[in-house]
Structure 1
Amino acid sequence: MSKICEYYFAPHSPFAYLGHARLTALAKQYGVQIVLKPFDLSKIFPISGGLPLAKRSPQRQAYRLQELQRWSAYLEQPLNLQPTYFPVHSDDAAKLIIATQLAHGTQAALDLTAAIMRGVWAEEKNIADTDTLIAMATALGYDGKTLLKSAETVSVEAEFVRFTDEAIAANVFGAPWYIVDGEGYWGQDRLDFVERAFAK
């Protein structure tokens, strides 16, 4: 039985974007199954002591931009520090990812996640816009309109709520968050430790 990595993320997270390609590559390298769990980060902050970006101190906001610039350069991964459509409501994008997973499987959902994250941070796309989401899914070869309708169903909403509840129960307080063998790792800068856990 292959090892499992629970992958908690918010589609609009820049650090999730920076780590997504590396996580999927590592999972493929070590034969690890990724279980995608897009969740509502806004529900996590009030109970974990975190603050939305706009409410953080100027020092923290400035350092966040430095870190994003450093990692973007280090990974040679394009990232716009001040994207046009950010902050952005990402619940619809998360639910579209869930609907894609249910209809087409994990790889399709991972590919769509990559496209959505890239859309925010490198392509100036508005992931709160339904037409944009439809176009992203369609570009990957899926029926974007049908998937969006599925994303609006009660069953998909229930999955989104369940993932958020599971994140709370697992003491998740940020995104991305990876759980391997019951141990949590916060942030794409912990992927070296995630790899060690994959290799055990």
Structure 2
Amino acid sequence: MRSLDYYLSLRSPWAFLGARRLEEIAQRHRVKVAVKPVDFGVIFPASGGLPLPKRAPQRQAYRMMELKRWSAHLEIPMVFEPRCLPVPEELAARFVIAAEATGGDPLRLAHAILAAIWQQERNVAEVGTLEAIASETGHHANTLAAKAFDPETQVRYEALTQEALERGVFGAPSYVLEDGEIFWGQDRLDLLERALAERSQSAA
């Protein structure tokens, strides 16, 4: 089975909007998604990006307009300014990494965390909230929490961030094929699917 590396921020509205379609594409093309939460607080300054509060007002206004357009276009309801934001995402990232390390379903957990922010306005910086989401997605909450606080999990988070930088990732979500081709943003998912289809035809 082919693989696809999925670099994301667990508070990205764009990752949230692309979540369902990514799962559908992976299923159609029999692709295993390697979920890789990374620290864009490190990636942005290294790649010329700016965190949202530091962007020009025009860019912030256009971002909001685009969120509303895409939410309507995809028929995915969302809260555009969740009361839980801004929220640190490091702990949520460690929970997702822990799901991978313990044989769980990191993709399901990551997408549930995104929905917790953008539809349910839950504070995913709280251990209790993350444990509840873990249970809701079929994971053993105590096992994930213990692994999330393992120093090795933090080392893995930092290593994934460095890996993303080395591969040229600069924005979230980014979907990277095995040959290194990057598709940045949920609005590139159609192009990603076309590339997967082309590669399947070439291999046939």
Runs of at least 5 residues in structure 2 that lack an aligned partner in the other structure: 199-204
Deviation for aligned residue 1:86: 1.1
1:196 corresponds to which of 194, 197, 202: 194
Deviation for aligned residue 1:109: 1.0
Deviation for aligned residue 1:158: 1.4
Q: Deviations over 1:8-52 (max 9, x none)?
A: 001000001111111111011000111111100110111111111
Deviation for aligned residue 1:3: 2.0
> Is the 2:2–2:30 contact (alpha carbons within 8 Å) kept by the matching residues of 1?
yes
CA distance in 1, matches of 2:183, 2:28: 19
> Is the 2:167–2:180 contact (alpha carbons within 8 Å) kept by the matching residues of 1?
no
CA distance in 1, matches of 2:171, 2:138: 32
1:165 aligns with 2:159: no
CA distance in 2, matches of 1:124, 1:154: 29
Aligned counterpart, 1:47: 46
State the superposition RMSD in angstroms.
0.9
Identity of aligned residues (%): 45
Amino acid at match of 1:9: L
Deviation for aligned residue 1:157: 1.1
Runs of at least 5 residues in structure 1 that lack an aligned partner in the other structure: none
Residue correspondence of structure 1 range 1-200 to structure 2 within 5 A: 2-105=1-104, 108-180=105-177, 181-200=179-198
CA distance in 2, matches of 1:162, 1:198: 27
> Is the 1:10–1:176 contact (alpha carbons within 8 Å) kept by the matching residues of 2?
yes
Show structure 1 runs of 4+ deviating over 6 A: none
> Is the 1:6–1:35 contact (alpha carbons within 8 Å) kept by the matching residues of 2?
yes
Amino acid at match of 1:88: V
Deviation for aligned residue 1:78: 1.3
CA distance in 1, matches of 2:2, 2:28: 12
SS in 1 for 2:175: strand
Aligned counterpart, 2:201: none
SS in 2 for 1:104: coil
Deviation for aligned residue 1:104: 2.2
> Is the 1:3–1:198 contact (alpha carbons within 8 Å) kept by the matching residues of 2?
no
What is the TM-score of this pair, normalised by structure 1?
0.96
Amino acid at match of 1:24: E
Amino acid at match of 1:37: K
> Is the 2:10–2:37 contact (alpha carbons within 8 Å) kept by the matching residues of 1?
yes
CA distance in 1, matches of 2:101, 2:196: 25
Amino acid at match of 2:18: G
Q: For this pair of structures, how many residues does the alignment match? A: 197
> Is the 1:90–1:127 contact (alpha carbons within 8 Å) kept by the matching residues of 2?
yes
